[in-house]
Structure 1
């Protein structure tokens, strides 16, 4: 037995600088007590002007204090993870499990086909045995334009995948790579190959964009693949049969790249849609993919990504497997969540789309309290956990029992038998969307699904590698930001006000500190009401000469003025996403990258 055979595949570290944050939190608590003492001792008498406004302000401050307490619980004890991929390769390289990768798209206008296939190609090119990768695209737009782009991507992958491995490219999205990469001029042979591949990609991109602009598939293109015949029966994007096409069959001996190496399985799916059936949006698409993939590849691990979040790190799946396959703690892991990161954030990040506070402070805090929530993309799931199985302390994963379909079964037969799994009436009178798969009836189905998995006894893990696992596109306009935040706020509050409330569903199933952690997002919506009150009422009272705040002097003056000034100023710096400027300033004071999130936590208390 080798020396490192008993060593763990990952390690957990507590955040540095926790004592600083905890001490600062205690100072805030003391200051808050002073505020409450003043409110209670100076309530205007009956009949005095401003009495009810004063009482309302007091209750608003009570609410702010409670919300501050919740955020402090989340940020009190963040943890960070490191993986040992070399140990994983040493022990399991020949026994690595299959991975099914789900990519979801819904509209070829909002989500252009070129962007979609860049995400698909990036995950097909993972540093992983290609015969153990299966990539599924769910096209809820049911667009033949997207199918055509996928057909082009399946051909280009025969060139792109060996090119990525030969040059060890990062990232492995063609668009992202060629946008920033510099042509290698040292060796003429390599330079020629590099230029050729880039030219082939640009040609493919041009063909797809030209076809997309036309808005229809030409007769010449429609003859290239039998799959285009499916659109003859399509009435509209909301009324069509299941369209399922296996573009690359990974078990086929002819599915090889230009160097004779196997290619990953590639599947296009447009699930059946009928006007009389509710399709449940992304949750319905995910559940259809879970069923269809179980009949085609049936891999024990599922990775789901949005179509606008390409893989930025070719070793991400190996990082995730370090948690699932760890001999001591891996059997309890239900899902591994990577952070969301974006490549289109502007320097000032006016609408705070970077989610720095959430991804760099709150998610590590969730992990320290029992496990992060599921955020809908960039997440590796254990198939059994996602499919509704409860965790048993005697559970031991046998990776060898998972196997692909029979070699004798033809691709044509497999397509036909799998179509029924994506039909509208398949879920009737079943537990799909309730106890099995992704949850329905919520605008934030991801958060609810992750909570349900944790309540069934599974542990979740948050992992933020040095090189980001995925890069996506964030809202860049006020309208987009408002729509997104409204959906999040409404959906999270619906969870809190339903039987799925963390304190109800999580009672005796998850730790109390994790139940409290889940409240940080559902309480966004009601907090807006107290914020509006605090902003509007004192201003109106001031117009009438009624003061709701004390004459500031002495210690109270020192505390409140310094706290308010520092808090508001730094909230504007950090809360609005100017992470790079603030990070440079902090690291210039001697803080490390690992200490930076904890330092930020001290100054973004809300």
Structure 2
């Protein structure tokens, strides 16, 4: 992440020095943006709706969360000071402050401050500075600052304040989101849960605003249910949803259609493209069935004492061929990973389920309307999932470049999917 706007400091100081509200602002948060996104954002790294709407909307409830980068902090707030209603900064006095020490003394002092042991046996990491012990230390740091009475503000200038490098392979993205989702769930299950830690300290709306992010990992349960169970029940001949002819189907259709239409409208309003929205939906499905799944169970294992806290770094350097495929908006699968085993197996499972549904309609030609009436929503869900997974099928069977799925993943996914279908049918 690097500075891309020389006026970022000026904009932030204008807010900090505002005579009416500036003294209550602890930090100014800029959006996290990237300089290497493709036209249709193949990996959904831009977080368009979150960056442009959701975080900006939090200004009305105390300000956005601290996201770890692109941020200017007030020193007193970061160092643990409690906000006081009549707190005022004497900017003139601060401007007149001069260092009496010589350059050599200041240099030696800086060396001590920059050492790895400076914060040992001090309040740093507990009462001052960034909080230690959780993968997303930035989130709990911002939350603790707000619980001391401070507010924050979101600043999104026309020229990006800061730019970074987004992941250029799918595995990089999934590893990154595993860490984020695991850290957020750790917060929710710890004493730093916004609903508990922020009680009587910050507004209820702000406490609730943290929850959707803290519960990213828990989303895997509902998503995996909708990806796996309807498909297997379709093969078994068990209907999960109301018949198409039933009036009870209206709420299901309404919610599904309106939610997707609203999501698309938001995405386009934020400057995205239709293909970009499709990529975004695909990546959310991939993350919920892999990254969030691993994050959820890793967090549970750590709570039970079966695992230790680890920090997985996200590689941001790719070779030339990977970069070329990224520019061409081809999803990079060229690695062996349990996450790809899950993605491929779920894709094959829904493909087999769709074949089974088509077979059922063709063989029962005399009662095809009855089949469609009874299983219409399940068939539609399977077909939608097959459409979303088209890049996975392409990587499994048709691609010849190094970005294709490894053969071992292909074989395992077919075997696991066939085994699941066989068990479901018999």
2:409 aligned residue:
none
| TM-aligned CA deviation for residue 354 of structure 1 | 0.8
2:90 aligned residue:
398
Distance in 2 of aligned mates of 1:477 and 1:394: 50
1:245-394 matched pairs, under 5 angstroms: 308-311=1-4, 313-394=5-86
User: Match of 1:362, SS?
Assistant: helix
Identify which range, 550-559 or 313-322, moves more after superposition: 550-559
1:490-530 Cα offsets, whole Å, 9 max, x none, are 00110110011101210100001100001111100011112
| TM-aligned CA deviation for residue 405 of structure 1 | 7.1
Distance in 2 of aligned mates of 1:445 and 1:423: 20
| TM-aligned CA deviation for residue 344 of structure 1 | 1.0
| TM-aligned CA deviation for residue 363 of structure 1 | 0.2
1:262 aligned residue:
none
The answer (yes or no) to whether the contact 2:49–2:270 under 8 Å persists in 1 is no
2:273 aligned residue:
581
Q: Which residue of 194, 202, 205 maps to 1:502?
A: 194
User: Match of 2:34, SS?
Assistant: coil
User: Match of 2:73, SS?
Assistant: strand
Distance 1:521 1:410, change over 3 A: same
| TM-aligned CA deviation for residue 537 of structure 1 | 1.6
Distance in 2 of aligned mates of 1:573 and 1:479: 29
Between the two proteins, the alignment pairs up a number of residues equal to 277
2:185 aligned residue:
493
Gaps of 5+ in 1: 1-307, 586-606
Higher strand fraction: Structure 1 or Structure 2?
A: 1
The answer (yes or no) to whether the contact 1:339–1:359 under 8 Å persists in 2 is yes
Q: Is the aligned partner of 1:418 residue 2:110?
A: yes
1:348-407 Cα offsets, whole Å, 9 max, x none, are 212110110210111022222221000111111110001110101121111123258756
Q: Is the aligned partner of 1:550 residue 2:220?
A: no
User: Match of 1:518, SS?
Assistant: helix
1:77-226 matched pairs, under 5 angstroms: none
Q: Which residue of 116, 124, 128 maps to 1:436?
A: 128
Distance in 2 of aligned mates of 1:418 and 1:575: 46
Structure 1 consecutive aligned stretches of length 4 or more whose deviation exceeds 6 Å: 572-578
User: Match of 2:195, SS?
Assistant: helix
Gaps of 5+ in 2: 278-426
Distance in 2 of aligned mates of 1:443 and 1:575: 29
* Two-structure CA RMSD over aligned residues (Å): 2.8
Structure 1 or 2, whichever has the larger Rg, is 1
The answer (yes or no) to whether the contact 1:454–1:510 under 8 Å persists in 2 is yes
Distance 1:450 1:360, change over 3 A: same
Distance 1:504 1:554, change over 3 A: same
The answer (yes or no) to whether the contact 1:351–1:481 under 8 Å persists in 2 is yes
Distance 1:394 1:344, change over 3 A: same
Q: Is the aligned partner of 1:453 residue 2:136?
A: no
Using structure 2 for the length normalisation, give the TM-score: 0.60
Distance in 1 of aligned mates of 2:180 and 2:269: 19
1:282-320 Cα offsets, whole Å, 9 max, x none, are xxxxxxxxxxxxxxxxxxxxxxxxxx3332x22221211
